Structure 1
Amino acid sequence: MRALLVDHAESSGLRLGETEDPVPAPHEALIKVRATSLNFGEVKDAIAYAPNGTVPGWDAAGVVVRAAADGSGPAKGTPVVSVGANGAWAELRAVDSARLGTAPPDSDLGAISTIPVAAGSALRALHRIGPLLGKRILVTGATGGVGRYAVQLARLGGAYVLASTSDPATHGAGLRALGAHEVVTGPRELTLPVNGVVDVVGGPQLVESFEKLSADGTLIAVGHSARQPESFPLHAFNGDGGRHNRTIATFFLADCPGLAPDFTWLANQVAAGVLDPQISWRGGWDKAAEAVSALLERRLHGKAVLDIA
C-alpha cells in the first residue's frame, strides 16, 4: 500500500512511498482511509522520534473493508472514524474496534477525520469537569483544534464560555461565532472565578488558570503547547479563602473507555453542522510537507486535513 513514511533525510521528515499492508488482529477492523487530520503533537514529536519507515498518524476517517474477525465493531462498508498510536497516514489501517466510531452515510470524511484527538479530547475534558449548565468554563489555547471544539461543546452544554487567545484582535470574532461569550488574552484577565478549565497550553498559563478556579472547580490539563514547566507558588494548593476542593486532572485519550460511542456522537454532530471542524488547511497527501511546515510554524489555527488519494 502507499503511505506517508518517516524519512529523516527529508526536510519534512516524511516521504510518500510503499509499505506492507497492515494485518488486523481479531479485534481490529481494516479500513480504507479517505482522510486524516494532523495534530501539532504528532507533527512535532511523533515524526521526530519515530524510526525511518514508520507510518505515523493518530486520526483517520474511511470505510470498513474488512470487519473485525471477532464480530465486534461496524460491518464492511460502514464509514468510520478512528484513533490509534500510528498508521493513519496510509491507504489502509487496522484499528481496534473499541476506538472506531461510525459516521453518517455520505459524510465529508475530511471533516469527520478531525474528530478523534481534537473533539474527543475536548469532550472527555468537559465530561470530567461535570454538568456544564450555568457554569463558567475557561478554554485556554482556544484557537487550536482542541480549543475550538471545546468552546463549541461547552456552549452546547450550557456553559458561560471564556476563550483565551494571545491575539483577541485577530481571533476574537471567530471564537465568539463558535460560542465564546468572552475572549481574553489569558487567565490573569479574569475578574471572576471559573468552575472549570480546559487547558491546552500548560506552563505558567496552567498555574494562572488554577488560581482562578472556584471552590469545587476542576482544571483538566489536556495539552502542553507552551512547552514550559509548571512552577506553583507557595500556598497555591491551600484550600482556604474559597479554594476548597479544587482539582487538577489529566487523562490519556487512548486509555479512555467508551471512545466508539463518543466518536459516533461527535461524527453525527459534525455531519449535521452542529459542530464546525474549523478546517484551516486541506489538500492531498502529496502536500503533507506544506501542512507540516504550517503547523510547526504556528501559521495554522484550527485543523489541517490530508485527503488520501
Structure 2
Amino acid sequence: MRALLNGPEGLYLAAAPDPRPRADQALVTVAAVSLNFGEIAYRSATSGTRVSGWDAAGIVTQAAADGSGPPVGARVVTFGWGGAWAELRAVDTGNLAVVPDDVDLGIASALPVAGVTALQALRRLGSVLGRRVLITGASGGVGRFAVQLAALAGAHVIASVSSAQRAAGLRELGAAEIVSGPAELTAPVYGVLDNVGGAQLAEAFYRLEPDGVAQAIGRAAREVTVIDFEVAGTNSARGRLENFNVATPFGPDLALLLQLVRDGRLTAQIGWRGSWEQAEHAADMLLSRQITGKAVLDLGS
C-alpha cells in the first residue's frame, strides 16, 4: 500500500507494508484523513515505514475476526494513535463508528481527535447551562467544535482568538462574545477549555469564578505555563486547573458526534481540503495558522 511517511524534508508518499489486523480490529480502506495540530507540531523527523496519523474515514474491507464491529462495506470513521495516513488501516472496533450514508467521509474524518476532545473536555466541566465558558484557541479544530458543543449545552460561550480574521464564523457557531485573550474578559468565567497553554492559560485561570474549572487541553503556544497563585487571588485560587487527556474508546462519542452532524446541529469546520499529495503543504499551513478549523486530505481512487 501507499502511505504518508515522515522524513527530514517532511511528509512524502511511499510504499509501506500492509497492516495486519488483530482479531478485534477491522481493516479499512481509507478515503480521507484529517490532520491535527498536535500530530504535526510534535512529529519526529525520521524516515522509515512507520505510518503516523490519528483520524481517518473509509470503507471496511475486512471485518473483525472476533465478530465485533461493522460488516464489510460499512462506511466508518476511525481513531488510533497511528496508522491513519495510509491506504489501509487496521483499527480497534471500539474506536470506530458507522457513518450515515448522507454524511461525507471527509467530513466524518474531521471528527475523531478534535471533536471527541471538545466533547469530553466539556463534559469534565460538568453542567454549563447558563454559565460563562471561555474557549481559547477557538478558531482551531478543537476550538470550533467546543464552541458549538458548549452552546448546545446552554453555555454563554466566549471565544478567544488571535485576530479578527480567525474569528470569522464563530458567532454563527454559537459564540456570544469574542475576545482576543482572557485579559479582555469583562467578568469571571465558570469554565475554561484552553487549547493554547502558556500565558493564556495562566490568564484564564486567574479569571475563574470560585469553584470554577479550567481544562488544559493543548499547547498551541508551545510555551511553559507559569501560574502565580498570589496573583490568582482568593477567588480564583479556589478554582481547579486540570490537565485534560482524551479517553478511549472513541466509538460511542464518535457515534454521538455523527448524529449531531446528520441532524444539522454540529458542523465539521473544514478550513482546507485537498489531495493527500499536498499533505506537506497542508501541514505547513496548519502550523502557520493559515487554516481555521480542520485540514482534510482525500486519498482519491
TM tier, shorter chain? over 0.9
Please report how far the alpha carbon of residue 64 of structure 1 lies from its aligned counterpart in structure 2 after TM superposition: 1.4
Structure 1 residue 175: deviation in Å?
0.9
Letter in 1 for 2:70: P
Gaps of 5+ in 1: none
Separation in structure 2 between the aligned mates of residue 182 and residue 26 of structure 1, nearest angstrom: 49
How far apart are residue 85 of structure 1 and its match?
Answer: 1.1
Structure 1 residues 25 and 251: alpha-carbon distance in aligned structure 2, compared to 1, 3 A threshold: farther
Q: Tell me if the contact between 1:111 and 1:270 (Cα under 8 Å) persists in the aligned partners.
A: no
Q: CA RMSD in A?
A: 1.6
CA distance in 1, matches of 2:161, 2:293: 13
The amino acid that maps onto 1:78 is A
Give the partner amino acid of 1:271: R
Distance 2:176 2:290 in 1: 25
1:69-80 equivalences in 2 (<5 Å):
69-80=65-76
1:35 pairs, out of 11, 32, 37, with 32
Q: Secondary structure at the match of 1:204?
A: helix
Letter of the 1:122 partner, please give it.
Answer: A
- What is the correspondence of 1:291-302 to structure 2 with a 5 Å cutoff? 291-302=282-293
Q: Select between 35-44 and 293-302 the one with higher mean Cα deviation.
A: 293-302
CA contact (8 A) 1:61 1:112 kept: yes
Residue 97 of structure 2 is aligned to residue 101 of structure 1: yes
1:279 paired with 2:274, answer: no
Q: Once the two structures are superposed, what CA deviation does each residue of 1:115-165 show, in whole Å capped at 9, x if it has no partner?
A: 011111000100000112111100000010000110010001110000001
TM-score by length of 1: 0.92
Instruction: Give the 3 Å change call, closer, same or farther, for CA 96–50 of structure 1 in structure 2.
Output: farther
1:246 corresponding residue in structure 2: 239
Structure 2 equivalent of residue 229 of structure 1: 224
Q: Is the 8 A contact 2:34 2:55 kept in 1?
A: yes
The AA in structure 2 aligned to 1:135 is R
Residue 181 of structure 1 corresponds to which residue in structure 2? 176
Pairing 1:124-143 to 2, within 5 Å after superposition: 124-143=120-139
> How far off its partner does 1:73 sit?
2.1
Q: Deviations over 1:2-36 (max 9, x none)?
A: 1112222xx3x121121111001111111111100
Q: CA deviation at 1:179?
A: 0.7
Q: What SS does structure 2 have at the residue aligned with 1:230?
A: coil
Which of 215, 218, 221 in structure 1 is aligned with 2:210? 215
Could you tell me which amino acid in structure 1 is paired with residue 66 of structure 2?
Answer: D
Q: Specify the alignment match of 2:11 in structure 1.
A: 14
1:14-93, aligned counterparts within 5 Å?
A: 14-46=11-43, 48-93=44-89
| Alpha-carbon distance in structure 2 between the residues aligned to 1:84 and 1:258 | 10
CA distance, structure 2, for counterparts of residue 22 and residue 234 of structure 1: 50
The offset of 1:92, in angstroms, is: 0.6
**CA drift at 1:207:** 0.5
Distance 1:226 1:78, change over 3 A: same
What's the CA shift string for 1:51-88, capped at 9, x where partnerless? Answer: 42221111001121222222222222221111111111
In structure 2, the residue corresponding to 1:85 is in which secondary structure?
coil
2:298 matched to which residue of 1? 307
CA distance in 2, matches of 1:259, 1:105: 20
Native 8 Å contact 1:108 1:271 kept in 2: no
Equivalent pair of 1:31/1:62 in contact (CA under 8 Å): yes
How far is the alpha carbon of 1:237 from its aligned partner? 6.5
Query: Where does residue 152 of structure 2 map in the other structure?
Result: 156
- Tell me the residue number matched to 2:194: 199
Q: Secondary structure at the match of 2:51?
A: coil
Flag the 1:69–1:50 CA change in 2: closer, same or farther, 3 A: farther
Task: State TM-score, norm by structure 2.
Answer: 0.95
**CA distance in structure 2 between the aligned counterparts of 1:292 and 1:257, rounded to whole angstroms:** 26
Shift of 1:289: 2.0
**How many residue pairs are counted as aligned between the two chains?**
300
1: CA distance between counterparts of 2:65 and 2:182? Answer: 50
2:7–2:48: 8 Å Cα contact kept in structure 1? yes
The one-letter amino acid of 2:175's match is: A
Note closer, same or farther for the CA distance 1:291–1:156 as it changes in structure 2 (3 Å cut).
same
Distance 1:86 1:39 in 2: 12
Sequence identity, in percent?
50
Q: Aligned partner of 2:206: which letter?
A: E
Q: What secondary structure does 1:181 align onto?
A: strand
